[in-house]
Structure 1
Amino acid sequence: MTVTDLIRQDLAAKPDGVLESIAESRGVPLEAVLACLEPDAALRVAGSLYQDIWSELTGWGEMTFVVHSRDGVFECKGSVPPGTEGRGYFNIHGDSPIGGHLRMDRCRSIYFIDRPFFGKRSCSVQFVNEEGGAMFKIFVGRNEDRSLKADQVARFEALREKHRAAA
């Protein structure tokens, strides 16, 4: 049995589990797990599209920005601020708690992920580095009742379909 078969078994056994946990248990980068998701759950596009995709996200309102490493998960809620290129970084700045300097030249691929997470639908745009690990993820926001924000879901689906058609 191949590692891909094992990952698919893991996904079938726990379809709403933490993808990084599967990657770690199988000794593969996150992208290997993302590649095993069903086509309706994951769409991969080239990392070179990051500026176009980032720019689209800036008008969506409050979302959740996540950095997940082996040592923890950092979450920040806020609007995705605009960004500009400079000094080798994509610099994000604006009136948001999300800010910093990103090495987007290392972005190999971007995934539109739509799958259950602990029993609830979750939609995210995940930026993957050259080694296949997550640089960061941006999740569609949730309402107070934990439901997804309908306007953001519609925008997520439209952006995903735009890129699916282009691919």
Structure 2
Amino acid sequence: MQEKYENNKENTYMKMPFNYSKEEEEIIEEKVLGYDKLKNDLPALMQEKKPFTISTFARMYGVSDLEVCTAMDENMRTITSGSYFEEIWKELATWEKATVIIEYKGSAFEISAKISEGVFGHGFYNIMGGASAFEGHIKADNIHTIVFSTLPFMSLESLSVLFFDKSGGLIFSVYAGRENRQIIESIKTSFYQMKEKYAEKINERKSLVVYSSLTGNTKKVAEAVQSVIPNCDIFPVENAPENLDDYYFVSVGYWVDRGLPDAKSKKFIKSLKNMNVALFGTLGAYPDSPHALGCIRDSEAMLKKEGSNNNVLGSFLCLGKIDPKLIDYMGKFMGDTHPVTPERKERLLQAQTHPDENDLEQVKSVFKNFAERLRL
């Protein structure tokens, strides 16, 4: 099921509403999209003399900007907490020259200048340029992750500090300044000192599993998910925390009700914003059936509604034992619309043994991969 769904999901990425450059279209035509493929392709792509950036790779492969960084070789990036923003910014302000770049919907805006320190006030980190041409107001609370990157640009050496929001979107980048096309040596020294320093300060990110369960099926799957995600809390949906600010990754488990998550799970899913999210669920249909794939599509659509800004990593479904009361109800009152055919009866009987050990091992593998992509 998962393999079929991954193929289906990759196809949907081809329909994303981006205007690709000629270079991006060449890659898309030649390669299958997705995180694993990006991780495999990235070393070769970095050697090409093409204007690829973090955001370019994210659009091309259908992943978040931050996932591009996690796909890079560990020696090329240091990922640390956004809580160090002010400390890091003050160190960047010691550089004699830097280039700040903001990319938005395919356009890039940049300014090269000496960065000035700022002060907090009115909810912003306020940079009043002074002698510098660079000034502005940064919503520091929105900076969740900071990455020190040595990703080359057009095969040339490049050193940058990248600032991401909670869903893995790149807010802006600060690149080491150059003279005569070469990175200034004192800035290079400062960059690598910071890269090493903050590698030792990486905060342990918290994750959360929330589930709804009638017969215990989804609870069993939820516990398997929790077992492979570091520093992970777990709650039934009725007791889920209202404030999710402390959580970096949320996994939501549901049981399928008429092709959608059950009502309690649906309400929780729709409430999520600015979050890294993955879904899992149990149902009475085969997990690779059109019914199941439609459920995955419609469930993930709830997380992608306008303004939600969620980074949806994917979904997992497996067979699950159906509540006997529901089977009786279907037989008595839904015989015309959902007749208990021999095939349906066989499937319902098979579902009584699920989720089994194979299902649990599969979901562990899927969510372990999600955790690795987020560098948990």
TM-score, scaled to structure 1: 0.93
Partner of residue 86, structure 2: 51
In the alignment, does 2:139 pair up with 1:103? yes
In the alignment, does 2:76 pair up with 1:76? no
Give the aligned residue type for 2:93: T
- % same residue: 27
> Which structure has greater helix proportion?
2
RMSD: 1.5
Give the aligned residue type for 1:31: L
| Distance in 2, Cα, partners of 1:31 & 1:166 | 18
Question: Which fold has the larger relative contact order, with Cα–Cα distance below 8 Å and residues 6 or more apart in sequence?
Answer: 1
Q: Is the 8 A contact 1:31 1:132 kept in 2?
A: yes
* Deviation, structure 1 residue 129: 1.1
Q: Is the 8 A contact 1:60 1:79 kept in 2?
A: yes
| Distance in 1, Cα, partners of 2:80 & 2:57 | 22
In the alignment, does 2:45 pair up with 1:9? no
Stretch deviating more after TM superposition (1-10 or 64-73):
1-10
| Distance in 2, Cα, partners of 1:82 & 1:123 | 20
| Distance in 2, Cα, partners of 1:13 & 1:19 | 15
Which among 68, 72, 79 is matched to residue 37 of structure 1? 72
SS at match of 1:117: coil
In the alignment, does 2:151 pair up with 1:115? yes
SS at match of 1:132: coil
Give the aligned residue type for 1:13: A
| Distance in 2, Cα, partners of 1:156 & 1:13 | 25
Q: Is the 8 A contact 1:142 1:148 kept in 2?
A: yes
Q: Is the 8 A contact 1:43 1:164 kept in 2?
A: yes
SS at match of 1:116: coil
Q: Is the 8 A contact 1:10 1:22 kept in 2?
A: no
Which among 29, 52, 59 is matched to residue 24 of structure 1? 59
Which among 188, 192, 201 is matched to residue 166 of structure 1? 201
Stretch deviating more after TM superposition (90-99 or 8-17):
8-17
Gap runs ≥5 in structure 1: none
> Which structure has greater strand proportion?
1
SS at match of 2:85: helix
| Distance in 1, Cα, partners of 2:194 & 2:155 | 24
Q: Is the 8 A contact 1:76 1:98 kept in 2?
A: yes
TM-score, scaled to structure 2: 0.43
| Distance in 2, Cα, partners of 1:166 & 1:129 | 19
Give the aligned residue type for 2:200: A
Q: Is the 8 A contact 2:66 2:164 kept in 1?
A: yes
SS at match of 2:178: coil
| Distance in 1, Cα, partners of 2:194 & 2:43 | 27
| Distance in 2, Cα, partners of 1:22 & 1:114 | 15
Q: Deviations over 1:77-116 (max 9, x none)?
A: 1111111111111111122111111111010100000122
Stretch deviating more after TM superposition (8-17 or 47-56):
8-17
Gap runs ≥5 in structure 2: 7-33, 203-376
Equivalenced residues, count: 166
